[in-house]
Amino acid sequence: MALPMNTAQRPGLSEYEIHVWRFPLIAARQEITSLRHWLSDDELSIASRICSHAERDKRVVAWGRLRFILSRYLHCAAEEIEIVRSRFGRPEIATPAHAGIQFNLSHSGSLGLVAVSRHAVGIDIERIDGGVPVDRLAQRFFTPGEADRLQRQHEGQRIEAFYRTWVLKEAHLKAHGARVPSGLSQCEILLEGDGARLSRSDFESPVGNVLIEIPVSKGYCAAVAALQQQADISVLDL
């Protein structure tokens, strides 16, 4: 099975480039069946334990499309890629050896994102749920400063501010291989108008931290982080 791409079939990736791939998690039954053939036994076992049929299909689509994207950079068949987890839980490419790229996957609702870089990278996307008790969650997981600033937000902006902060923090933690949600209070995000910045982090990076929000569909928030000095980000649709 060949999935369509709106870029070259074998994309290049320079030293400071980060490619962010956006894709839907909804697929025809025939495609889902084909994508399952690309997954490892462990991935199939994990998917089989998801009770909801629709959510199980979304997991298969996310992992299958991840493998398709990686195969374009690695110049190999999607089913030949072996993905393992480091002792910190970060997914890594074991086969082919010396791949030279790193990646991260996130999915929520009906959308998925994959980030590909030459450096450690993390990505997060969250569907905004207006019923979530954001003040209580911020008190539990955010720093005191973040929780206080969120509380002072106008009620109509508070939910989006919570999700923007969350995805920025989670992307940063994933780039460092740190655990979520336990590590969320170990870094602090400042939302500044339409932008955001990392104001404090307990995780050291001698080469620097990149943290950028990613444009996604209305009703979602997303961000990408990487351990590198600078970043040239391309957002691509699969």
Q: For residue 66, give its domain range.
A: 17-100
For the chain, list the strands marked E by DSSP. Answer: 17-24, 82-85, 91-95, 102-108, 111-117, 121-127, 187-192, 195-201, 210-213, 220-226, 232-237
Residues 223 and 135 in one domain: yes
| Rg of the chain in Å (alpha carbons) | 18
Does a structural domain hold residue 154?
yes
Residues 61 and 141 in one domain: no
Count of all residues that appear for the chain in the document: 238
Q: What local confidence, expressed as pLDDT, does residue 4 receive?
A: 40
Q: CB within 8 A of 34, min separation 6: which ones? A: 1, 64
Q: Find where tokens 């199980």 sit.
A: 56
> Nearest Cα to 174, choosing from 232, 236, 230, 92?
92
Number of domains in the chain: 2
Q: CB within 8 A of 235, min separation 6: which ones? A: 20, 22, 214, 215
Does a structural domain hold residue 145?
yes
Residues 157 and 198 in one domain: yes
> Nearest Cα to 224, choosing from 147, 123, 125?
123
SS3 label, residue 77: coil
CB 131 within 8 A of CB 122: no
Does a structural domain hold residue 119?
no
- For the stretch 107-149, pLDDT in tens is 999 999 999 999 999 999 999 999 999 999 999 999 999 999 9
CATH number at 216 reads 3.90.470.20
Q: What local confidence, expressed as pLDDT, does residue 193 receive?
A: 76
Does a structural domain hold residue 106?
no
pTM, two decimal places: 0.92
Q: What local confidence, expressed as pLDDT, does residue 2 receive?
A: 36
Q: What local confidence, expressed as pLDDT, does residue 62 receive?
A: 97
Residues 93 and 179 in one domain: no
Regions of the chain where pLDDT drops below 70: 1-10
Does a structural domain hold residue 53?
yes
